[in-house]
Chain A
Amino acid sequence: MRRTALGAIGVATLALTACGGGGDGGNSDALDYWLWDANQLPAYQQCAADFTESTGIEVEVTQMGWDDYWGSLTNGFVADTAPDVFTNHLSRYPEFVANGQLLALDDAEATADVDTSIYNEGLADLWVAEDGNRYGLPKDWDTIALFYNEEMLDDAGYTPDDLTDLSWNPDDGGTYEEVIAHLSVDKNGVRGDEAGFDKDNVAVYGLGLNGAGSGQGQTEWSYLTGTTGWTHTDENPWGTHYNYDDPDFQASMDWFASLADKGFMPQLETTVGASMADTFAAGKSALNANGSWMIGQYTGYDGVEVGIAPTPTGPSGERASMFNGLADSIYAGTDQPEEAAEFVAYLGSTDCQDVVAEAAVVFPAVTTSAEKAAAAYEAQGIDVSPFTTHVEDDSTFLFPITAHASQIDGIMAPAMDAVVSGKVPASSLTGANDQVNALFE
């Protein structure tokens, strides 16, 4: 879940220096709007300007890095200086709703009757809480695909087509593991599937590692576990029981951890620090599973030719990708609920999302705008179909939305670290699962 922002953090911290507190900004009549992704800032500034032009309502846009965003927001709630409108995340909003910090969009005129059929299927439903009220209007979505180093692929004797029909299973890893093994090269030039491969002295890992993935594994392993029929929770959204004790899931995690042991993936302890994308650019790994919000970063490195392939199919015969979406929410303490709702409705409209689409930084939630974004990527010479195929083939599953998200993270992050680092077998997750499920009792 953090991953959505990781790409932005570096840029964000640099761009942040001029940003003030936001809630107590200079123009008291203006609406305050916060977002964390610096890549999207120009597009949303354009949207805000267009909105002001047509309605006369001023908007001050503030961007701050993911690391500061949620703390500042919570402080804002307490001090009553939170922004009127802000970008919200699925993992956070249930707790805000539970504490009465969000305005139900159904109660505001401008957002009461928004036509949600313009959005990609399922995105709008994510933001309806257990009380039946809507707390956010979708703005974008993301899926997972495989970024690869074209030169390394070529050296290994593969063509891009060889990556389009990979299959995976938790027993022997399928053709996915075969490719990962063959792409791994040790310091002597021996490949991972050849005799004499020195797994302790690997020059290029077949698969990069981003971290252990905590409880979601959004970019790390959920695209694999999702193909076995396993789901994070009993139902989604608003599940009340997690399934980390499932033997099939644990078998998948044992397979995942075994890649590091075989020398096909870096050891977890070596990945603390530089991001997976940066080490990929430095030629340390050939294949990286990552989210669509990272397209700009991967294709932006100098001197590295990058291609994108779809994630492998699994035991179910289908591919799988976590489907995550951001939305704009309104702070319950806003002085201008109607104006804020007008702005949220505008941000969620085709007009604004087309502007975001042209910037080619994310896939907008509006279906027709997402198509325009794909075309904008295409114009830059980037084929993003491995990401969009999940939506077209309906192979997505939703980001798990439940109560207690931050406490679950506190339990699952160290538990997954221990498994992926090979310190304990995946069966140890049963204990962590009991702790997690105890939160719902």
Chain B
Amino acid sequence: MSTPTATGEGAHQPPAPSRTATGRRRPGRLGWSPTRGDLPAALFFIAPALLGLVVFFLVPMIRGVYLSFTEYNILGDPTWIGTENYEAIARDPLFWNALGVTGQYVVINIVLQTLLALGIALLMQRIAKSTLIRGMLLLPYLMANVIAALLWFWLLDYQIGIVNHVLETLGGSRVAFFGSEEWAIPTQALINTWRHMGYTALLIFAGLQVIPKQLYEAASLDGSNAVQTFFRITLPLLRPVLVLVLVVTVIGSFQVFDTVAVTTQGGPINASRVMQYYIFQKAFTESQFGYGSALAVILFLILVLVAFVQMKFLRGNESDLG
């Protein structure tokens, strides 16, 4: 969930575009301008992707924005009601609850996932050089979200789950991982961390490969220890990749849905009623598609803002490698 593949794939490429190389190949030119002859071919290659973007993304998005200003139950015709949905949302305690719950999920998920992935990536570079072991780290990611969630749902079941059985055998007490308000969100964040950390580690690992070896050699000659090297060289030079990983995983985390849908369905009480689930509930369960669309538009705006802030303040599009 937290890493849409379309965006994720870009990360396999080295993060720092080699400006110098491009410049060398086309000396004397500041930029590249298309010649008219390339246009038909370009359109031909762009068309499939463009068609998909328009049909499956742009049109639904514009229609969604329109529907957010209507009252619509999908079976009848939409009725224009202006900003009434947005006004109702501002007064809706469940909307504010959803924001809070989603925020809690994002924080736990991102902090844990990024730290663990960074650790794994460093281990992959230094110790686990076998392709088999590196490949195994990706296994959880290959499992569908719903399957991973159901698997853990059973493992962590309070009454007959094996984890609670083991906890009790070891002298601890059983934990209502999905049933208690305190645990519902952390549990789901942990499940998604488990599923995604291998993939995220792979992205960071790719970033590590790009850092020139000479820098490390120079650092060790200067007597830098491992911790100093990590904080002075690895982390700063990894920044563009980390920013990309953060942006992608944060956006993905805000949209957590399937884990909630197959386990707690918003409960207990409202403890896991995250934004996406609340949107789904309003639109598809309660047939209030106008209200659901307005919620979706708000989530979209939040994500735009979050991505913008991250790119801006973490300077994700610049590299210190230069």
B227 located at the interface, meaning its Cβ lies under 8 Å from any Cβ of chain A in the complex: no
Q: 8 nearest interchain CB pairs?
A: A269-B179, A272-B179, A99-B75, A273-B157, A269-B176, A270-B158, A269-B180, A272-B178
B161 located at the interface, meaning its Cβ lies under 8 Å from any Cβ of chain A in the complex: yes
Contact residues in B for A271 (Cβ distance below 8 Å): 158-159, 179
Interchain Cβ contacts under 8 Å between A and B, 30 examples: A74-B284, A74-B287, A78-B75, A99-B76, A100-B75, A267-B176, A268-B179, A269-B181, A270-B179, A271-B158, A272-B158, A272-B178, A272-B179, A272-B264, A272-B268, A273-B159, A273-B178, A274-B154, A274-B161, A284-B159, A284-B160, A406-B287, A410-B281, A410-B282, A410-B285, A413-B267, A414-B267, A414-B270, A417-B268, A418-B269
A14 located at the interface, meaning its Cβ lies under 8 Å from any Cβ of chain B in the complex: no
B105 located at the interface, meaning its Cβ lies under 8 Å from any Cβ of chain A in the complex: no
Could you tell me which residues of chain B, from 260 to 304, have a CB within 8 Å of some CB in chain A?
263-264, 266-270, 273, 281-282, 284-288
Contact residues in A for B156 (Cβ distance below 8 Å): 273
Contact partner of B159 (CB less than 8 A), chosen from A282, A407, A423, is: A282
Which residue on chain B has the smallest CB distance to residue A423? B269
B205 located at the interface, meaning its Cβ lies under 8 Å from any Cβ of chain A in the complex: no
Do B159 and A95 touch across chains, with their CB atoms under 8 A apart? no
B74 located at the interface, meaning its Cβ lies under 8 Å from any Cβ of chain A in the complex: yes
A278 located at the interface, meaning its Cβ lies under 8 Å from any Cβ of chain B in the complex: yes
A419, B312: Cα distance in complex, Å: 47
A440, B65: Cα distance in complex, Å: 28
A101 located at the interface, meaning its Cβ lies under 8 Å from any Cβ of chain B in the complex: yes
Binding site for A on B (CB under 8 A): 73-76, 153-154, 156-161, 174, 176, 178-181, 263-264, 266-270, 273, 281-282, 284-288
Number of A-B contacts (CB under 8 A): 85
A269, B179: Cα distance in complex, Å: 4
In angstroms, how far is the closest chain B Cβ from the Cβ of A428?
Answer: 11
A421 located at the interface, meaning its Cβ lies under 8 Å from any Cβ of chain B in the complex: yes
Contact residues in A for B76 (Cβ distance below 8 Å): 99
A71 located at the interface, meaning its Cβ lies under 8 Å from any Cβ of chain B in the complex: yes
In angstroms, how far is the closest chain A Cβ from the Cβ of B172?
Answer: 13
A77 located at the interface, meaning its Cβ lies under 8 Å from any Cβ of chain B in the complex: yes
In angstroms, how far is the closest chain B Cβ from the Cβ of A51?
Answer: 29
A77, B74: Cα distance in complex, Å: 9
Do A272 and B285 touch across chains, with their CB atoms under 8 A apart? no
| Given A274-B160, A406-B287; A77-B75 close (CB under 8 Å) | yes
A271, B179: Cα distance in complex, Å: 7
A279 located at the interface, meaning its Cβ lies under 8 Å from any Cβ of chain B in the complex: yes
A409, B267: Cα distance in complex, Å: 13
Contact residues in A for B161 (Cβ distance below 8 Å): 273-274
Which residue on chain A has the smallest CB distance to residue B158? A270
Could you tell me which residues of chain A, from 227 to 273, have a CB within 8 Å of some CB in chain B?
266-273
Do B268 and A269 touch across chains, with their CB atoms under 8 A apart? yes
Could you tell me which residues of chain A, from 270 to 288, have a CB within 8 Å of some CB in chain B?
270-274, 278-279, 282, 284
Contact residues in B for A101 (Cβ distance below 8 Å): 75
Do A273 and B154 touch across chains, with their CB atoms under 8 A apart? yes
Which residue on chain A has the smallest CB distance to residue B174? A270
Contact partner of B268 (CB less than 8 A), chosen from A268, A274, A410, is: A268
Contact residues in B for A77 (Cβ distance below 8 Å): 75
Do A273 and B75 touch across chains, with their CB atoms under 8 A apart? no
In angstroms, how far is the closest chain B Cβ from the Cβ of A333?
Answer: 11
Binary B-proximity of A276-310 (CB < 8 A = 1, otherwise 0): 00110010100000000000000000000000000
Binary B-proximity of A384-427 (CB < 8 A = 1, otherwise 0): 00000000000000000000001101100110011001010000
Binary B-proximity of A151-180 (CB < 8 A = 1, otherwise 0): 000000000000000000000000000000
Contact residues in B for A273 (Cβ distance below 8 Å): 153-154, 156-159, 161, 178-179
A254, B158: Cα distance in complex, Å: 24
Do A272 and B176 touch across chains, with their CB atoms under 8 A apart? yes
A77, B158: Cα distance in complex, Å: 40
A423, B181: Cα distance in complex, Å: 11
Contact partner of A417 (CB less than 8 A), chosen from B269, B284, B288, is: B269
Contact residues in B for A406 (Cβ distance below 8 Å): 285-287
In angstroms, how far is the closest chain A Cβ from the Cβ of B242?
Answer: 36
Among B158, B263, B269, B285: residue with most chain A CB under 10 A: B269
Contact residues in A for B176 (Cβ distance below 8 Å): 267, 269-270, 272
Do A78 and B267 touch across chains, with their CB atoms under 8 A apart? no
- Other CB < 8 Å A-B pairs besides A279-B160, A414-B267, 9 of them? A74-B74, A78-B75, A268-B268, A269-B181, A271-B179, A274-B159, A284-B160, A410-B286, A417-B267
Contact residues in A for B273 (Cβ distance below 8 Å): 414
Contact residues in B for A274 (Cβ distance below 8 Å): 154, 157, 159-161
A417, B180: Cα distance in complex, Å: 11
Could you tell me which residues of chain A, from 88 to 122, have a CB within 8 Å of some CB in chain B?
95, 99-101
In angstroms, how far is the closest chain A Cβ from the Cβ of B249?
Answer: 27
A272, B269: Cα distance in complex, Å: 12
Among B156, B174, B180: residue with most chain A CB under 10 A: B180
A95, B73: Cα distance in complex, Å: 10
A406, B75: Cα distance in complex, Å: 15
Do A78 and B178 touch across chains, with their CB atoms under 8 A apart? no
| Given A414-B267, A418-B269; A266-B159 close (CB under 8 Å) | yes
A74, B286: Cα distance in complex, Å: 12
Which residue on chain B has the smallest CB distance to residue A405? B286
Do A278 and B160 touch across chains, with their CB atoms under 8 A apart? yes
In angstroms, how far is the closest chain A Cβ from the Cβ of B222?
Answer: 56
| Given A414-B267, A414-B269, A421-B268; A270-B159 close (CB under 8 Å) | yes
In angstroms, how far is the closest chain A Cβ from the Cβ of B250?
Answer: 28
Contact residues in B for A418 (Cβ distance below 8 Å): 269
In angstroms, how far is the closest chain A Cβ from the Cβ of B72?
Answer: 11
Contact residues in A for B266 (Cβ distance below 8 Å): 414
Which residue on chain B has the smallest CB distance to residue A77? B75
Do A407 and B286 touch across chains, with their CB atoms under 8 A apart? yes
Contact residues in B for A410 (Cβ distance below 8 Å): 281-282, 285-286
| Given A269-B179, A272-B176; A279-B268 close (CB under 8 Å) | no
In angstroms, how far is the closest chain B Cβ from the Cβ of A143?
Answer: 27
Contact residues in A for B179 (Cβ distance below 8 Å): 267-273
In angstroms, how far is the closest chain A Cβ from the Cβ of B188?
Answer: 12
Do A95 and B267 touch across chains, with their CB atoms under 8 A apart? no
Which residue on chain B has the smallest CB distance to residue A408? B286
Among B157, B266, B268: residue with most chain A CB under 10 A: B268
In angstroms, how far is the closest chain A Cβ from the Cβ of B48?
Answer: 25
A268, B176: Cα distance in complex, Å: 10
Contact residues in A for B154 (Cβ distance below 8 Å): 273-274
Which residue on chain B has the smallest CB distance to residue A415? B269
Which residue on chain A has the smallest CB distance to residue B74? A78
A278, B154: Cα distance in complex, Å: 12
